[in-house]
Amino acid sequence: MSDLVFGPATGVGSMPGGDAREAAKTVTGTFEDFPYLAELPARGPGADMIGRTAGLLVEVYARVEPSGWRIGDRPGMDTRRARSWLGEDLDALEEYTQGYEGPLKVQAVGPWTLAAALELKNGEAALSDAGACRDLAGSLAEGLVRHLEDVRRRVPGAAPVLQLDEPSLTAVLRGQIKSASGYRTHRAVDRQIVEATLRSVMEAAGVPVVVHSCAPDVPFALLRRAGVAGVSFDFGLLTERDEDAIGEAVEGGTKLFAGVVPSTDAALSDPASNVSSVRTLWRRLGLNPGSLAESVVVTPSCGLAGASPAYARKALAHCVTAARSLADNPE
């Protein structure tokens, strides 16, 4: 995987507001080497991460209930709305990527966070039913293949990169996903099953896959075994116990999408200071400073949906400047 070429910086996915053209203009204007398909959850159900991905599923449909998204028998208004929002976002991206050639990132919820969030007809999470989890993963894989085909058609020069958002992955592995009643938790899923399912979805997609989680305790080793091209995470949540796994990942060619710029409104310091912790980690692990720029993609710590529009624009530009600092001064 070390020969994969990504841009030096990109965003995580979500942006504030509801104007698809404005978001696409901002993203493509900021990340000339690694743009992404912006998500605008402020528009409402169907533009949120779960609803958006539910709209990609093949022969599996979901609708909004008071408790969340629930699997249904047929496509309804909520499915149509999700597909409409995605179509609008793709139209805007297509408009602002005329003539673009290079990596282009699109995001979708991964199979385990989706299984933890989508409810079965009885109100329990799909995670509670092993067969439902398999069916959901298969439907997701097929939907992602179609989605990526659409992206290639719209942006012929793009080399698609798929980001699977898995913020619930660690909770799934630890048996921390609550039942519908809230009084118990669903049983932990076997790590080999989690790994195999992720691998099957990634293999079906047929493009480089980055798994994103801005939750603590990202399972770096499991993701590396599953075959990810990169891991996207909140750098500020790393602990000492993560370091060995990170070192192994880097040496194995896995890219680190390091979330070092705050994702909600904050005073932005000198960009070089945002990546100083990355340099410190490199030294502590004894990694070659010259590998920093090729191993790390600089991002915000998470999505920017909760930021003000002005701050979101500044944060994305800050990522680009911080990445340049990392390349110019790796030590």
Domains of the chain in start order, with CATH, are 20-328 (3.20.20.210)
Q: What is the pLDDT of residues 198-229, one digit of tens each?
A: 999 999 999 999 999 999 999 999 999 999 99
Q: Please say if the pLDDT value at position 1 is more than 50.
A: no
Q: Please say if the pLDDT value at position 174 is more than 50.
A: yes
Q: Please say if the pLDDT value at position 48 is more than 90.
A: yes
Q: Please say if the pLDDT value at position 111 is more than 80.
A: yes
**pLDDT-above-90 percentage for the chain:** 85
- In the DSSP assignment, the letter for residue 31 is -
Q: Indicate the average pLDDT of the chain.
A: 94
- Residue 5's pLDDT is what? 76
> Crossing angle for the helix pair 240-251 and 276-285, nearest 10 degrees?
80
Query: Tokens representing 31?
Result: 């990340």
- Residue 271's pLDDT is what? 79
Q: What is the pTM of this model?
A: 0.96
Q: Bridge partners of 39? A: 14
| Spatial separation of the C-alpha atoms in residues 234 and 248, rounded to whole Å | 18
Q: Are strands 230-234 and 255-261 parallel, antiparallel or unpaired?
A: parallel
**pLDDT-above-70 percentage for the chain:** 98
Mean pLDDT of 97-116: 97
| Spatial separation of the C-alpha atoms in residues 229 and 164, rounded to whole Å | 11
